[in-house]
Structure 1
């Protein structure tokens, strides 16, 4: 397919509300080509990692289809003209289950294709696939050989002459996907990073991380419970200390009140004793004065020759 034809298909995609053609099984275009999804666990792991990572990246885009090992038919008159890319992404197509991807119904070819090397792949076959994807108008094509000594990762991007090799894929960011590829030549591990920098993970790694997070959550819950226990114990000690301080304050206040009451009673007793002493002294003084008057009166009577009766 020429680039011009590809561009015309891109400019007038089938609306998202077209009939749900993917619901009906068409025996003329089988779901399977009779070949296994993957030849080995390594290939399967990378197919799932890339497909699931892309599917999650576009989880909120209803117009982006991510497919893994889905048969892609090119010709409505010849079901032999098909292929099953390990992973492909079709923008402008509904995110819905399909028996196959029929290009004449979808309106255009997938824009991005991934292939993971398997032992059955030959250079001739991979060259044929490259020519096929180029002819169908694929915009970006990526090929990963995870078991290669240096973890070979190659890419092609559509240019004026069709699919052209990407000079360096290490650090390359897909124009269509926004995904950055890191292909270090030492540890054989391809890394795909989302626009936010988070790396794609295989489901087993995700589950391992999830288990680790659950363990950490349990440890954190125990830590919080221990801290809560310490806070409650400290609060109990503080409350007990405040209670003891309050009791001591009340004891001191009661002691001060009793001392003040004792001082008041002692002062009253002293005042009463003083009053009684002054009263007694006054009575004694009055008695002396009365006695003196009586003696003076008796003396005068004697002087006058009068005897007191």
Structure 2
């Protein structure tokens, strides 16, 4: 939303073309819980959410959010959940205070991610799985960075079924591939072109490293060009000396012939 776009009285598209939500105090923007319970969990939530944002940056019809309250029943405030990351195909990008499903064409997020923390319990995660299953989520992924464990479920008809082998799995909706090495905190999510998800900080580091390498390559190219120019100057000088020597030899031969001597 640009600064020139006034807040709408109801959710809709602003003049900028982005979807703009309208705050409704009936549905709080926060559940009072922290986004993450540890830096490790936070890092992974950011990695996944920012990676998804970048992946669908050119798709105006794909909405990506992290830790956003999703209200799934109109008029029932307690019917809400805040996935660590979610993707909704068929909804425009833009600002939301919350994702109120009845204002979003009734669309439930098709893909949901949850990242374990030390505060999560198996019972809590089982409740989330059952809820997402009931709400119609198509793909659901749980990652536990403490042990590098990745689990996934894929909708098969009316129910989500466990994905037997997630390591090497390619998401039908996202097109990304998951690699789950045995090392702790080692999940790799690769875009369709093979590049891995990274955080903004990691992307800046990569950019800085690529800029450093580009500068080094440019410096080496400049040095090579200077050497080539110096070698060219030396070659020109040697060619001139050879021509001068040939001219001197020709003049000497001419003088000898004038003296009646055979220069050969």
Deviation sequence 1:217-244 (CA, Å, 0-9, x none): 2322221122122111101101111111
SS at match of 1:176: coil
Q: Distance in 1 between matches of 2:246 and 2:184?
A: 73
Q: Identify which of 138, 145, 152 aligns with 2:149.
A: 152
SS at match of 2:72: strand
- CA 1:117 to 1:187, structure 2 compared with 1: closer, same or farther past 3 Å? closer
Partner of 1:66: 64
1:201 aligns with 2:198: yes
Q: Distance in 2 between matches of 1:69 and 1:212?
A: 31
SS at match of 1:141: strand
5+ unaligned residues in a row in structure 1: which ranges?
1-16, 265-309
Deviation sequence 1:62-92 (CA, Å, 0-9, x none): 1111111111111221222211100000001
Q: Distance in 1 between matches of 2:81 and 2:195?
A: 31
- Normalization by structure 2: what TM-score? 0.85
Residue 160 of structure 1, CA deviation = 2.8
Partner of 1:248: 245
Q: Output the aligned Cα RMSD.
A: 2.1
Partner of 2:218: 221
Q: Distance in 2 between matches of 1:75 and 1:249?
A: 99
5+ unaligned residues in a row in structure 2: which ranges?
1-10
Q: Distance in 1 between matches of 2:12 and 2:22?
A: 14
Q: Distance in 2 between matches of 1:93 and 1:259?
A: 98
Deviation sequence 1:277-303 (CA, Å, 0-9, x none): xxxxxxxxxxxxxxxxxxxxxxxxxxx
CA contact (8 A) 2:70 2:101 kept: yes
CA contact (8 A) 1:138 1:158 kept: yes
Residue 118 of structure 1, CA deviation = 1.3
Deviation sequence 1:10-46 (CA, Å, 0-9, x none): xxxxxxx954563432222232222221111111111
Superposition map of 1:291-302 within 5 A: none
Deviation sequence 1:180-235 (CA, Å, 0-9, x none): 11112244411111122222123333333333323322322221122122111101
SS at match of 2:151: strand
Query: Greater helix share, 1 or 2?
Result: 1
Matched positions, count = 246
Partner of 1:270: none
Moved more, 233-242 or 33-42: 33-42
- Normalization by structure 1: what TM-score? 0.74
Deviation sequence 1:258-282 (CA, Å, 0-9, x none): 4444449xxxxxxxxxxxxxxxxxx
Residue 159 of structure 1, CA deviation = 1.3
